[in-house]
């Protein structure tokens, strides 16, 4: 309920000097702006969540397989990032260097990979019996087909958890 000049001069306050409804008036005069904002928000949420679920479940699948040669190094690389937070300024600089300033991908990409979610997916997929993997491999299924038709459908509970946190 503060006007823009007061916010710029004094910052946000719990109790403004003067109440104004200019933001609500703007929305009532331009309802398409609100619809556009919700459209962008829904797009970012849906695309980001779908990409995150796909990438993190694939990473969890790969890390849960014992025959993956670089499993320990890859796991260390992912889990080591949980010790240090990159911060806002380095993330901003990275987006600038990638040419993603004022791009919708700058809103989607940071949430696509989460070490915690990969850890959750890996541990869930580790609990799926190896006999399912072995029997599918004997029947001629490749790794992606085993992931897509066996492991992914069995991972719905962990996918729901990761989807809620994405």
For residue 16, pLDDT over 80 is answered with no
Q: What is the mean pLDDT of residues 125-129?
A: 93
Domain boundary assignment for the chain: 4-165
Give pLDDT, residue 164: 93
Give pLDDT, residue 96: 94
Task: Tell me how crowded residue 119 is: count the other CB atoms within 10 A of its CB.
Answer: 18
**pTM for this structure?**
0.79
Give pLDDT, residue 1: 64
Query: Which strand (E) or helix (H) includes residue 49?
Result: helix 31-64
Higher per-residue confidence, 127 vs 7: 127
Place of tokens 């260390």: 76
Q: What CA–CA distance (Å, rounded) separates 141 from 64?
A: 18
Query: CA-CA distances (angstroms) from residue 64 to 37, 122, 147, 158?
Result: 40, 5, 11, 14
Cα Rg of the chain (Å, integer): 23
Among the CATH numbers 3.20.20.140, 1.10.3720.10, 1.10.760.10, 3.40.50.10600, which is that of 4-165?
1.10.3720.10
**What distance, in Å, lies between the first and last C-alpha atoms of the chain?**
32
Instruction: Quick: pLDDT tens for 135-146.
Output: 999 999 999 999
Q: What is the mean pLDDT of residues 83-102?
A: 88
Instruction: Quick: pLDDT tens for 66-79.
Output: 888 899 999 999 88
């Amino acid at each position: 309920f503060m006007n823009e000049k007061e916010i710029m001069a004094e910052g946000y306050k719990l109790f403004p000097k003067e109440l104004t409804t200019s933001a609500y008036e703007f929305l009532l005069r331009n309802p398409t702006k609100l619809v556009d904002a919700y459209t962008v928000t829904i797009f970012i949420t849906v695309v980001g969540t779908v990409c995150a679920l796909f990438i993190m479940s694939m990473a969890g699948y790969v890390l849960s397989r014992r025959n993956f040669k670089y499993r320990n190094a890859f796991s260390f690389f992912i889990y080591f990032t949980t010790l240090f937070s990159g911060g806002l300024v380095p993330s901003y600089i990275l987006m600038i260097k990638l040419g993603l300033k004022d791009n919708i991908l700058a809103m989607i990409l940071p949430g696509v990979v989460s070490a915690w979610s990969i850890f959750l997916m890996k541990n869930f997929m580790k609990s799926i019996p190896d006999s399912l993997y072995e029997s599918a491999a004997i029947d001629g299924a490749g790794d992606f087909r085993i992931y897509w038709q066996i492991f992914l459908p069995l991972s719905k509970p962990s996918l729901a958890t990761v989807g809620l946190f994405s």
